[in-house]
């Protein structure tokens, strides 16, 4: 009891102790905030990948025909909730005078895509409508292809606020544009067939705007019905070059990849007559794994940054050591009295170790509190800095997302909490030993 | 004399000062290493932007471009501060490989090679035609074919070491390149009632490694005239959408950019009755840094953020110094009392302890900088060793367009960090020193205090 009482008393009476608490809190807050912002950013990349590509991506080495049958086979498995085909190509789009952009064009099957991804919630016009979204056709111009256009193709976010003018963007809905895509042309002349490339153009009608909050997608993609794109590209039957798959509830994408691989092998050998080496060339992986090349790098950068800050933060050990040493030096008489009335060396050492523990607990708790507050309000802080200093720190065109991902990482928080407490106790060890070695006869003698 | 001898004595006699020196040295070491690397990356990136985009750029974002550029270029060439000028067309195009059938929508850059290599360091970025850049658009396998230069990351794989796996011979690859031809009013040129896009086959003649990742992975370079024709910019008055300007050596870029801007304003006033004078309205004259601020600014902001974070962490060092001085002064209270009783003023006491803080800051900074210099000198060797032994690379060279880790230190940075370290020590020592100076010798030296 005496140990706790004295530790608490030192904590309350010695103002310098506040300094060590502040240092522990500062270090913990910094490390927790850096770790949280990094992991939140990595998490945002992974989750946006799932939102946009589904849980699993099947990317065959070449276009596949009879894709409807592959989708039916996939959906027949209990592990798979839905699958959607995509026909992708690149092209140019002409919106109006002088306004030409390079685009990636995806031909999609809208109903199945809405099941695999959260496409509907990304559509500015149709997201709040009770009906399923559709590529509305223009009765007056049946040749015009209905298209969803990425918001970044229509406008740039405001330089100061990084937000789009949604009213302005919505005004494009109903406008026409022209796309041009590359297509393989097959000629037969005098019995000799040849294959060549040609560009083909088509008129499109903007029937909705896609706003995913992922800049690279919003800036680059347009979506059209898959059959219309196939017609523009002169494709036969219903081809697809990517399949996006959504796992059923309760099944993880990692487990389901094997199921997809099995079905793909069966389908490719039975329906496409592809040789085994070509079938194996298909890339089947979870959408999260697809981003791993970048997320691994980000995790590495986070690790390096945490090590650097961690090394400097290790100064906390020195700080606690100095403060405790000072307290021990100043409290020699008290310690000698405790010893003279029967307190053991271990009791004396424990007083300071508990004291260190208190400092660690208080500092680390405060640090986590500060870290949580900063992470949670990082967008408001960024806005505030932007307003006050005119310094726009976050821009979706640089960091992909329109908002700073601000998920607080409790895993790292607990690690740093533990590390901070350990550092405080570690800093207290040498002073505690010095205190335990106090000899009452030397300290309390008259001279 | 005492105020010189005492700090030195305290510094060498008190073991606790070693702790303070180490804390400062550790902080200085980390800051110097991180800031040197970061500074090197930013400087390298800005330099590459400068050499790629020349000193001053007259440009418009509109793909329609502007006319009479050749006339203005002639005027610029006659001035005493312009070394060379080069017209550039920036456009989008659909590039289809005729061997693989794959296509990609890419940025196209039309350059007049003769002018461009005088105005920028483009020649240094070439691989096959580095020594004969004038022939860059002539494929070595058939110099009569129209050539195209492709951004290195579009064609050549990068090894983990950061080196590109360049082929020893130039493969005869061909690309069908398609563009939307635009009229001076920006409308899509039509052939009768049909929509039309212009296409032409180009042959791979070289690749360009500018060191700017976004450019090397998205840009295909075509001869200026060819792209002008593909984009319909050769119909009527010929158009371009940028002119790069290089100033003569020794000319101040800001001043000369202002002069070019002035000349441009005079030019458009003079050409007010030109049929498409309206196209001049969107044109801006900027120095290279302003022109590229969208890409350079984020890196500079990250650098600023890192400095701020280090400033926060550096606070802990200030705390450590504060506590150590608090300890030293508590231990030396009798000495302070004796000094004061001998007539030393408050200012004298302040001088003793602030000089001690200065010594700690100076030594800490010196030790930190010394270790940082040794570490930086070996940083690439260390990374190579880590990569060989453990497969660890600070930056994956397959992803990042970084060669070796920057390790050249900037004397100004070292001086700034050392000054900050000394200032942090003085700051940390200030409060305890003030309290020491305020002590009264009668209080400190009275019997019950002994």
**Tokens 């920028």, located at residue:** B120
Residue B330 pLDDT > 60, yes or no? yes
Separation between Cα atoms, residue A302 and residue A38, nearest integer Å:
6
Q: Which of A259, A281, A303 is the last residue of a domain?
A: A281
* Residue in A19, A90, A91 nearest the CB of B319: A19
For residue A102, tell me if it sits in a domain.
Answer: yes
Report pLDDT for A392: 77
Angle (CA) B216 B218 B220, round 5°: 85
Side-chain half-sphere exposure of B303, counting CA atoms within 13 A: 16
The span from the CA of B140 to the CA of B124, in Å, is: 18
Does the predicted model carry a pTM greater than 0.90? no
Q: In this structure, what token pair is assigned to residue A186? A: 């097959």
Confidence of residue B447 (pLDDT cuts 50, 70, 90): low
Residues A340, A1 contacting (CB under 8 angstroms) = no
Query: In the structure, what pLDDT confidence band is assigned to residue B367 with cuts at 50, 70 and 90?
Result: very high
**Which pLDDT belongs to residue A35?**
93
Q: What is the dihedral of CA B54, B58, B60, B65, to 10 degrees?
A: -100
- The alpha-helical segments, DSSP class H, found in B121-250 are 122-125, 152-155, 213-216, 224-230
* A324 and A204 co-located in one domain: no
Q: Do residues A244 and A367 both lie within one domain?
A: no
% of chain B with per-residue pLDDT over 90: 40
Residue B430: pLDDT above 60? Answer: yes
Q: Do A20 and A93 fall within a single domain?
A: no
- Residues A251 and A161 reside in one and the same domain: yes
Average pLDDT, chain B: 87
For residue A184, list chain B residues with Cβ-Cβ distance below 8 A: 101
DSSP run (H or E) holding B312: helix B293-331
- In this prediction, residue B450 carries a pLDDT of 46
Chain centroid, CA A62 distance in Å: 30
- Pair (A175, A246) in one structural domain: yes
Q: What is the distance between the alpha carbons of residues A362 and A367, in angstroms, rounded to a whole number?
A: 8
Contacts of A184 (CB under 8 A, 6+ apart): A195, A196, A197, A198, A234, B101
Residues A131 and A159 in one domain: yes
What are the CA-CA distances from residue B2 to residues B31, B111, B342, B359 (Å)? 35, 73, 11, 15
| Burial class, B37, CB count within 10 angstroms (exposed 0-12 / middle 13-18 / buried 19+) | middle
Q: Write the pLDDT tens digit of every residue in B220-229.
A: 999 999 999 9
Q: Can you give the residue ranges of every domain in chain B?
A: 2-46+296-449, 61-282
pLDDT of residue A321: 84
Say if residues B175 and B97 touch (Cβ distance below 8 Å).
yes
- CA trace torsion B226, B227, B232, B233 (10° rounding): -100
Residue A290 located in a structural domain: no
Does A93 lie in the same domain as A13?
no
Q: Please give the Cα distance from A213 to B400 (Å, whole number).
A: 24
Domain boundary among A281, A305, A332: A281
Most confident of A206-215, B110-119, B328-337: B110-119
Flag whether pLDDT at B116 surpasses 90: yes
pLDDT surpassing 90 at residue B202: yes
CA distance B333 to B435: 10
- Give residue B432's pLDDT band: very low, low, confident or very high (50, 70, 90): confident
DSSP A229-242: HHHHTT--SS-BSE
A73 vs B346, residue with greater confidence? A73
The more confidently predicted of residues B374 and B188 is B374
Lowest-confidence pick of A118-122, A141-145, B91-95, B387-391 = A141-145
Q: Which residues of A, range 114-153, sit inside 8 Å of B by Cβ?
A: none
pLDDT in tens, chain A (447 residues): 666 666 667 666 667 788 888 889 988 998 999 999 999 999 988 888 888 889 999 999 888 888 888 999 999 989 999 999 999 888 888 887 767 787 889 999 999 999 999 888 889 989 888 888 888 766 677 778 899 999 998 988 887 777 888 899 999 998 888 888 876 555 555 555 444 556 778 889 999 999 988 888 888 899 999 988 888 887 666 788 899 999 998 899 888 999 999 999 999 998 888 888 888 888 999 999 888 888 888 888 888 888 888 887 777 788 888 888 888 877 778 888 888 888 788 888 888 888 889 889 999 999 999 999 999 999 999 888 888 887 777 877 777 787 888 899 999 999 999 999 999 999 889 888 988 887 887 777 765
Domain termination residue (choose one: A242, A258, A281): A281
Identify from B95, B100, B178 which residue to disrupt to test chain A contact, counting A C-beta atoms within 10 A and taking the largest count.
B178
Give residue B77's pLDDT band: very low, low, confident or very high (50, 70, 90).
very high
User: Looking at the complex, does the CB of residue A245 fall below 8 Å from at least one CB of chain B?
Assistant: no
- Same domain flag for A238 and A351: no
Residue A244 belongs to domain spanning: 61-281
Total domains in the fold of chain A: 2
**B213 within 8 A of B400, measured Cβ to Cβ:** yes
Same domain? A32 vs A68: no
A319 to B316: CB separation less than 8 angstroms, yes or no: yes
* In a shared domain, residues A155 and A98: yes
Q: Which residue has the higher pLDDT, B342 or A97?
A: B342
- Domain assignment present for residue A116? The answer is yes
Q: Which of B34, B199, B312 sits opposite A30 (nearest CB)?
A: B312
Give me the long-range contacts of B257-265 (CB less than 8 A, separation at least 24).
B257/B55, B257/B56, B257/B285, B257/B286, B257/B287, B259/B79, B259/B81, B260/B56, B260/B58, B260/B76, B260/B82, B260/B285, B261/B285, B263/B72, B263/B75, B263/B76, B263/B79, B264/B58, B264/B72
CB pairs under 8 A between A and B: 164
Contact at 8 Å (CB) between A149 and A222? yes
User: Looking at beta carbons, which residues of chain A come within 8 Å of B105?
Assistant: 90-92, 102-104
The whole-angstrom separation of Cα B137 and Cα B220 is 12
Q: Are B232 and B198 in contact (CB under 8 A)?
A: yes
Task: Round to whole Å and give the CA distance between A215 and B301.
Answer: 20
Q: Which helix (H) or strand (E) holds A201?
A: strand A192-210
Cα Rg, chain A, nearest whole Å: 32
Alpha-carbon separation of residue A9 from A72, A94, A354 (angstroms)? 73, 76, 12
Residue A143 lies in a domain: yes
Using a CB-CB distance cutoff of 8 angstroms, which residues of chain A are in contact with residue B23? Answer: 315, 318
Mean pLDDT of B254-280: 87
How confident is the model at residue A396, as a pLDDT? 75
Q: What pLDDT score does A32 carry?
A: 94
Contact A102 B195 (CB under 8 A): no
Q: Is residue A135 part of a domain?
A: yes
Measured between CA atoms, the residue of chain B closest to residue A298 is: B395
Verify that A375 and A228 share a domain, yes or no: no
Q: Which of A98, A304, A313 sits opposite B316 (nearest CB)?
A: A313
The closest CB to that of B103, out of A182, A294, A300, belongs to A182
Of chain A residues 3-42, which have a CB less than 8 A from chain B? 16, 19-20, 22-23, 26-27, 30, 34
Q: What mean pLDDT is predicted for residues B257-275?
A: 89
Phi/psi zone of residue A93: left (φ > 0), alpha (ψ -120 to 50 degrees), beta? beta
Q: Which residue has the higher pLDDT, B151 or B390?
A: B151
Does A345 reside within a domain?
yes
pLDDT exceeds cutoff 70 at B133? yes
Interface of A with B in 289-308 (CB under 8 A): 293-294, 296-297, 300, 304, 308
Chain A residues in contact with B22 by the CB 8 A cut-off are: 318
Same domain (yes/no): A329, A185: no
pLDDT in tens, B50-60: 999 999 999 98
**Exposed, middle or buried: residue A327 (CB in 10 Å: 0-12, 13-18, 19+)?**
buried
Top residue of A94, A196, A330 to mutate, by most chain B CBs within 10 Å, is A94
Question: Is the Cβ–Cβ distance between B433 and B329 less than 8 Å?
Answer: yes
- Can you give the pLDDT at residue A188? 52
Mean pLDDT of the region B72-95: 92
Instruction: Tell me if A199 and B178 make a contact (CB, 8 A cut-off).
Output: yes
Distance between CA atoms of B336 and B330, rounded to whole angstroms? 10
- Best CA proximity match to B178, nearest among A230, A97, A197: A197
> HSE-up of B120 (CA within 13 Å, CB side)?
25
Q: Are A181 and B94 in contact (CB under 8 A)?
A: yes
Are B241 and B59 spatial neighbours (Cβ–Cβ below 8 Å)? Answer: yes
CA distance B150 to chain A (A): 17
pLDDT tens for each residue of B238-253: 999 999 999 999 889 9
Average pLDDT of span B382-402: 81
């Amino acid at each position: 009891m005496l140990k706790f009482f004295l530790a608490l008393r030192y904590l309350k009476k010695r103002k310098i102790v506040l300094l060590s608490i502040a240092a522990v809190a500062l270090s913990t807050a910094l490390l927790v905030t850096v770790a949280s912002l990094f992991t939140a950013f990595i998490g945002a990349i992974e989750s946006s990948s799932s939102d946009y590509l589904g849980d699993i991506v099947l990317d065959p080495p070449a276009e596949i025909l009879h894709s409807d049958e592959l989708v039916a086979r996939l959906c027949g498995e209990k592990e798979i909730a839905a699958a959607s085909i995509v026909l992708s190509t690149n092209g140019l789009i002409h919106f109006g005078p002088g306004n030409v952009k390079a685009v990636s064009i995806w031909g999609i099957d809208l109903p199945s895509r809405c099941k695999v991804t959260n496409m509907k919630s990304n559509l500015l016009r149709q997201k709040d409508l009770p009906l399923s979204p559709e590529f509305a056709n223009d009765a007056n111009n049946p040749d015009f292809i209905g298209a969803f256009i990425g918001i970044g193709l229509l406008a740039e976010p405001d330089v100061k606020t990084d937000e789009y003018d949604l009213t302005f963007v919505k005004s494009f809905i109903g406008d026409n544009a022209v796309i041009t895509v590359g297509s393989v042309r097959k000629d037969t002349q005098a019995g000799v067939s040849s294959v060549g490339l040609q560009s083909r153009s088509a008129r499109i009608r903007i029937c909705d705007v896609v706003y995913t909050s992922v800049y690279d997608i919003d800036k680059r993609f347009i979506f059209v019905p898959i059959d219309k794109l196939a017609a523009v590209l002169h494709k036969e039957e219903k081809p697809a070059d990517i399949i996006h798959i959504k796992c059923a509830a309760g099944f993880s994408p990692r487990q389901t990849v094997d199921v997809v691989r099995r079905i793909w092998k069966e389908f490719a050998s039975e329906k496409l007559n592809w040789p085994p080496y070509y079938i194996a060339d298909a890339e089947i992986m979870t959408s999260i794994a697809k981003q791993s090349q970048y997320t691994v790098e980000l995790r590495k950068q986070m690790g390096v940054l945490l090590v650097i800050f961690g090394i400097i933060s290790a100064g906390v050990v020195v700080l606690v050591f100095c403060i405790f040493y000072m307290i021990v030096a100043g409290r020699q008489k008290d310690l000698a009295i405790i010893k003279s009335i029967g307190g053991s060396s271990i009791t004396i050492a424990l007083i300071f170790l508990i004291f260190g523990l208190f400092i660690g607990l208080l500092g680390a708790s405060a640090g986590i509190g500060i870290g949580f507050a900063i992470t949670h309000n990082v967008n408001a802080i960024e806005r505030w800095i932007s307003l006050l200093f005119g310094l726009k720190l976050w821009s979706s065109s640089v960091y992909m997302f329109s908002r700073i991902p601000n998920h607080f990482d409790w895993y790292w928080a607990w690690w740093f909490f533990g590390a901070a407490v350990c550092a405080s106790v570690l800093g207290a060890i040498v002073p505690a030993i010095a205190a335990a070695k106090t000899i009452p006869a030397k300290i309390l003698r008259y001279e | 004399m005492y105020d010189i001898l005492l700090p030195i004595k305290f510094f060498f006699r008190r073991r606790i000062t070693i702790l303070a020196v180490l804390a400062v040295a550790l902080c200085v070491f980390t800051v110097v290493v991180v800031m040197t690397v970061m500074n090197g990356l930013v400087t390298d990136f800005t330099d590459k932007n400068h050499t790629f985009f020349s000193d001053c750029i007259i440009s418009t974002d509109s793909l329609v471009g502007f006319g009479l550029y050749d006339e203005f270029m002639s005027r610029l060439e006659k001035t005493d501060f312009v070394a060379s000028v080069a017209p550039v067309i920036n456009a989008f195009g659909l590039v289809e490989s005729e061997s693989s059938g794959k296509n990609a929508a890419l940025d196209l850059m039309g350059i007049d090679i003769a002018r461009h290599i005088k105005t920028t360091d483009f020649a240094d970025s070439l691989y096959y035609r580095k020594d004969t850049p004038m022939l860059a658009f002539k494929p070595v396998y058939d110099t009569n074919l129209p050539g195209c230069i492709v951004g290195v990351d579009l064609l050549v794989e990068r090894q983990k070491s950061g080196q590109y796996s360049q082929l020893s011979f130039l493969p005869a690859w061909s690309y069908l390149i398609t563009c939307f031809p635009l009229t001076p009013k920006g409308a899509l040129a039509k052939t009768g009632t049909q929509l039309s896009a212009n296409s032409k086959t180009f042959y791979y003649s070289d690749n360009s490694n500018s060191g700017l990742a976004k450019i090397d992975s998205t840009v295909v370079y075509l001869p200026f005239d060819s792209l002008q024709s593909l984009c319909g910019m050769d119909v009527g008055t010929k158009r371009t959408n940028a002119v790069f300007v290089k100033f003569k050596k020794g000319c101040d870029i800001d001043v000369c950019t202002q002069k070019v801007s002035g000349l441009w304003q005079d030019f458009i006033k003079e050409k007010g009755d030109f049929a498409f004078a309206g196209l001049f309205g969107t044109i801006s004259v900027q120095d290279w840094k302003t022109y590229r601020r969208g890409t350079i600014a984020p890196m500079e902001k990250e650098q600023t953020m890192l400095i701020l974070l280090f400033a926060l962490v550096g606070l802990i060092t200030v705390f450590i110094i504060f506590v150590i001085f608090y300890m030293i002064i508590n231990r030396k209270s009798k000495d302070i009392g004796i000094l004061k009783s001998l007539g030393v003023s408050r200012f004298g006491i302040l001088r003793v302890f602030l000089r001690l803080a200065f010594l700690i800051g100076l030594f800490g900074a010196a030790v930190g900088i010394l270790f940082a210099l040794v570490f930086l000198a070996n940083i690439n060797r260390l990374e190579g060793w880590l990569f060989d032994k453990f497969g660890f690379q600070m930056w994956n060279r397959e992803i990042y367009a970084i060669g070796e880790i920057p390790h050249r230190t900037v004397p100004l940075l070292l001086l700034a960090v050392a000054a900050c370290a000394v200032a942090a020590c003085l700051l940390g020592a200030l409060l305890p020193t003030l309290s020491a100076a305020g002590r009264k010798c009668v209080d400190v030296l009275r019997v019950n205090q002994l």
